[in-house]
Amino acid sequence: MVEVQGLGKRYGWTWALRGVDLRMDPGEKVLVFGPNGAGKTTLFKLIAGIVRPSEGRIRIGGMDADGNPEAARRQVGFVGHRPFLYDDLTVRENLRFYGELYGIPKPSLRVDALLEWVGLRHAADLPARALSQGMAQRISVARALLHDPSVLLLDEPFSGVDPQGRAVLEGVLEEEGRTVLMATHDLRSGVIWTKRVLVLVRGRPKYLGPPPRDPEDLWRMCGEHR
């Protein structure tokens, strides 16, 4: 479902990411781990099509992301550090906007169903700026799932999340069939939900394989002790 070969991103003379190879089968869940500045968010933005690689290639669902960028992006949902909501629009207006952007037929029905699922139907007419951080994170998950993507990218999804949001995320991770790439420092949660770990250190892959028995060993792979 996701295939990355020799992927790299350079900003000026500095490589934020380089030499990453990763292949994910349909329905597989992989944890991306590394200290701050390791290149995790850069990897997610590249796969999501937000930025273009400096080298290497990305294939999503068998399609080359460079040759078919729009089609590739439509297969991906992205939950990042920011909720990507427009402050002056209501929650419902935000989700309808993204639904129309993805060409979803009758987006209002999908929007209402997702608002019910994340437990925020009552907040549908609030402006996005009025949301708490936890509520905004739940709406971010709803936004990422609007077009029912085959691939879901979760970049620190448990950061700032409220108890209801954690339950929503765990529900997403329990689903079968969706390919998930997740970065989190919540190692216990990360190891529970994933079968393989990609460790990045200073923008380069350090390890790719099964998670260790002791999740804290991941920090030792990075040369850090907690």
pLDDT band for 153, please (50, 70, 90 cuts).
very high
Q: Is the pTM value of this prediction over 0.75?
A: yes
Pairing of strands 204-209, 179-183: unpaired
70: number of Cβ within 10 Å: 8
Selection from 53-62, 69-78, 183-192 with the highest mean pLDDT: 53-62
Q: Break the chain into its structural domains and give their ranges.
A: 2-221
Of 171, 164, 183, residue with least CA distance to 145: 171
Fold of 2-221: Rossmann fold (3.40.50)
Q: Rounded mean pLDDT of 158-174?
A: 84
Confidence of residue 225 (pLDDT cuts 50, 70, 90): low
> How far is it, in rounded angstroms, from Cα 203 to Cα 132?
33
Is residue 5 within 8 A of residue 55, CB to CB? The reply is no
- Give the model confidence (pLDDT) of 104-127 as tens digits: 888 889 999 999 999 999 999 999
Q: Which residue has the higher pLDDT, 146 or 186?
A: 146
